[in-house]
């Protein structure tokens, strides 16, 4: 009986040591797809005008609690003055419709509510966690407008994405995440209609256009953390 107990303890010790020797990865790389929608002068409804978007994502993970995520997305926005709750003087009662192609790049800081991982590379890590994200980036937009005089208008503006998400370990090196972000931009030209009341736009919040993104991403772990650092908590 004593031999059985001693053998069991030794096996548990070996398995525990082996679990902590599983590699911890610093990087993730993959792709995402989802929907994005316009929020601005012509429409404040987040659920209206959903358009497909897709992109690539890379993440650097300093520790199981945090990550820096870089996203490059390609998508579309559209809208119409018929959805607006206000009559804009600049339109003179005429219809205004736009379709805008967007390219945006941003870097966000993600904070996980719980340590994220398989639990084999970091003690106490969980394969599922919600997170919050905040960052900065750029948005490039090309609006194709019909109404009044038809024209195309390009614009570039800083953007600040902020939102929430969840991530899940599908396998040891495979991650699935769902993320919703609101992008506050420094431009009022995503819809081609700049300063409809003659109030000059400024910063990221004064009379500027916004858009939201809902993205599902699949990423693969890369870049093994050095073994001499395995016991570090950072």
Q: Quick check: is 220 in a domain? A: yes
Cα separation, 196 vs 194, whole angstroms:
6
pLDDT band at 2 (very low <50, low <70, confident <90, very high): low
Which pLDDT tens digit goes with each residue over 124-166? 899 999 999 999 999 999 999 887 677 788 889 999 999 999 9
179 within a domain of the structure (yes/no): yes
Residue 81 falls inside a structural domain: yes
Split into its structural domains, the chain has a count of: 1
For residues 40 and 79, is the Cβ–Cβ distance under 8 A? yes
Q: How far apart are CA 6 and CA 65, in angstroms?
A: 37
CATH code for position 163:
2.40.160.20
Residue 6 lies in a domain: no
Is position 203 within any domain? Answer: yes
Sequence-distant (≥ 6) Cβ neighbours of residue 23 within 8 angstroms: 121, 224, 225
Average pLDDT over residues 68-73: 98
Q: Identify the domain containing residue 180 by its residue range.
A: 23-226
Is residue 79 included in any domain, yes or no?
yes
Measure the CA angle with vertex 185, ends 184 and 187; round to 5°.
150
E strands, the chain, where?
Answer: 25-39, 51-63, 66-80, 97-112, 128-146, 151-171, 174-185, 210-224
Spatial contact of 91 and 196, defined as CB atoms under 8 Å apart: yes
pLDDT > 50? residue 230: no
Residue 3 lies inside a defined structural domain of this protein: no
pLDDT of residue 18: 46
Q: How confident is the model at residue 110 (pLDDT cuts 50, 70, 90)?
A: very high
* Chain mean pLDDT for the chain: 84
| pLDDT (average), residues 184-201 | 78
Residues 200-215 have pLDDT tens digits of 655 555 678 999 999 9
- Please give the model's pTM, rounded to 2 decimal places: 0.82
The pLDDT value recorded for residue 200 is 64
Q: Given this model, what pLDDT does residue 50 score?
A: 93
Structure tokens at 105: 């790049």
Is 10 within a domain? no
């Amino acid at each position: 009986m004593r031999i059985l107990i001693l053998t069991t303890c030794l096996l548990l010790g070996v398995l525990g040591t082996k679990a902590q020797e599983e590699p911890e990865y610093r990087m993730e790389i993959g792709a995402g797809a989802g929907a994005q929608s316009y929020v601005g002068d012509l429409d404040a409804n987040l659920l209206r005008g959903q358009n497909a978007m897709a992109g690539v994502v890379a993440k650097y993970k300093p520790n199981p609690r945090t990550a820096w995520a870089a996203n490059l997305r390609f998508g579309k926005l559209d809208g119409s003055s018929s959805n607006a709750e206000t009559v804009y003087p600049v339109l003179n009662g005429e219809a205004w419709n736009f379709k805008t192609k967007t390219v945006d790049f941003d870097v966000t800081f993600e904070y996980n509510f719980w340590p994220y991982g398989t639990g084999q590379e970091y003690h106490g890590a969980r394969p599922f966690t919600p997170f919050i994200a905040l960052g900065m980036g750029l948005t490039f937009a090309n609006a194709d407008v019909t109404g009044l005089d038809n024209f195309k208008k390009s614009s570039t503006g800083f953007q600040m994405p902020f939102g929430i998400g969840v991530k899940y370990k599908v396998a040891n090196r495979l991650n699935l995440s769902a993320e919703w972000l609101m992008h506050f931009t420094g431009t009022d030209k995503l819809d081609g209609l700049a300063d409809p009341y003659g109030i000059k736009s400024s910063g990221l919040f004064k009379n500027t256009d916004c858009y939201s993104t809902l993205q599902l991403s699949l990423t693969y772990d890369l870049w093994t953390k050095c073994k001499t650092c395995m016991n570090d908590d950072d």
